[in-house]
Amino acid sequence: MRYEFATAGRIVLGVGAAAELPALARGIGSWALLVTGAGMQARGGIAAQRAAELQAAGLVGETRVVAGEPAVADVEAGAALARHSGCDFIIGIGGGSVLDTAKAIAALAANSGGAHNYLEVVGAGRALEQDALPVVAVPTTAGTGSEVTRNAVIADPAQQAKASMRHASMLPRLALVDPELTLDMPPSVTAWSGLDALTQLIEPYVSARA
């Protein structure tokens, strides 16, 4: 039997680890598109402070704010912004939707055509022609695991469906996991994140095709 385990290129985990974000990001690129969530922007807190530190360090060219689950139009607009700004990597700070958006933007920014060329089920499901831009993933929730996976789940409102875009190069180059960033989350988000983690554990137990 053969096994393969693929995850983020580097995982840094620890309380306060997000303070290292500017220094660690410099080892990956020089000019980033920052993807964050609207909730984080409104709440402020530690995660917003870390984003501000990236700005102060001169690492961020543009910022893309995500409100809810990513849709096709969102990631295509984000990819256009990334190309226009000339960024050489993507930083995502937020929950699973933000990190999925960051990974999808990284993939589309480096490739021709729209999201439907690469989305499974609702699109052509083609492999990426070029590797995705490097991604730094900084989760603020503890449930989706998007910071260590190679796929991004995108909504297609026209077809009332969600589908995945996936490629080995979409695995984040760096996953920076700081438990402090989860402390600002509303109780409801903390509960949903816990259920997300639980269902992802149950799924492979009951389905060989998970």
Task: Identify the pLDDT of residue 197.
Answer: 86
Whether residue 96 is contained in a domain is answered as yes
Task: Identify the pLDDT of residue 185.
Answer: 82
What CATH number does residue 192 fall under? 3.40.50.1970
Residues in the chain predicted with pLDDT less than 70, given as ranges, are: 41-42
Range(s) of the domain holding residue 167: 11-197
Whether residue 149 is contained in a domain is answered as yes
Whether residue 203 is contained in a domain is answered as no
Whether residue 66 is contained in a domain is answered as yes
Task: Identify the pLDDT of residue 137.
Answer: 98
Task: Identify the pLDDT of residue 81.
Answer: 96
Whether residue 204 is contained in a domain is answered as no
Whether residue 104 is contained in a domain is answered as yes
SS (H, E, C) the chain: CCCCCCCCCCEEECCCHHHHHHHHHHCCCCCEEEEEEHHHHHHCHHHHHHHHHHHHCCCEEEEEEECCCCEHHHHHHHHHHHHHHCCCEEEEEECHHHHHHHHHHHHHHCCCCCHHHCCCCCCCCCCCCCCCCCEEEEECCCCCCHHHCCEEEEEEHHHCEEEEEECHHHCCCEEEECHHHHCCCCHHHHHHHHHHHHHHHHHHHHCCCC
Whether residue 105 is contained in a domain is answered as yes
Whether residue 205 is contained in a domain is answered as no
Angle subtended at Cα 27 by Cα 86 and Cα 179, rounded to the nearest 5 degrees = 105
Q: How many domains does the chain have?
A: 1
Task: Identify the pLDDT of residue 130.
Answer: 97
Task: Identify the pLDDT of residue 19.
Answer: 94
Task: Identify the pLDDT of residue 100.
Answer: 97
